[in-house]
């Protein structure tokens, strides 16, 4: 059984291994930051489609604030 984190090499605590026997990461390396997703329409005419852009929460906030500022100025 894997007892060291594949990212940092630290020992994975036994409690974590008991709860998640197949885990390969320690708690610190497995913690993910919040993500945001935005639906985007691309293409034109018969070739229009929707796509989803997933980004870090901080990046989303920066883009959202910039869009809000632009729309306020218009």
| Domain total of the chain | 2
Residue-number span of the structural domain to which 13 is assigned: 1-31
**Are 27 and 44 members of one domain?**
no
pLDDT at residue 70, rounded to an integer: 87
DSSP string for residues in the chain: ---B-TTT-PBPPHHHHHH-TT--S-HHHHPPPPEEEEEEEES-GGG-EEEEEEEEHHHHHHHHHHHHHHHHH-
Q: Angle 39-43-47 (CA atoms, 0-180°, nearest 5)? A: 115
Looking at the structure, tell me whether residues 67 and 40 fall in a common domain: yes
Q: Quote the pTM value.
A: 0.43
pLDDT of 32 reads 66
Average pLDDT score, the chain: 88
Average pLDDT score over residue span 9-23: 92
- 2 and 22 together in one domain: yes
The pLDDT tens digits for 34-66 are: 788 889 999 999 999 999 998 888 888 898 899
Do 49 and 26 belong to one domain? Answer: no
- Residues 7, 1 contacting (CB under 8 angstroms): no
Mean pLDDT of 8-20: 93
């Amino acid at each position: 059984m894997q007892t060291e984190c594949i990212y940092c090499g630290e020992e994975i605590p036994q409690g974590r291994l008991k709860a998640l026997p197949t885990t390969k990461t320690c708690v610190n390396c497995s913690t993910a930051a919040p993500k945001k997703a935005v639906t985007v329409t691309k293409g034109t005419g018969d070739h229009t489609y929707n796509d989803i852009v997933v980004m870090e929460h901080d990046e989303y906030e920066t883009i959202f604030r910039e869009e809000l500022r632009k729309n306020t100025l218009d």
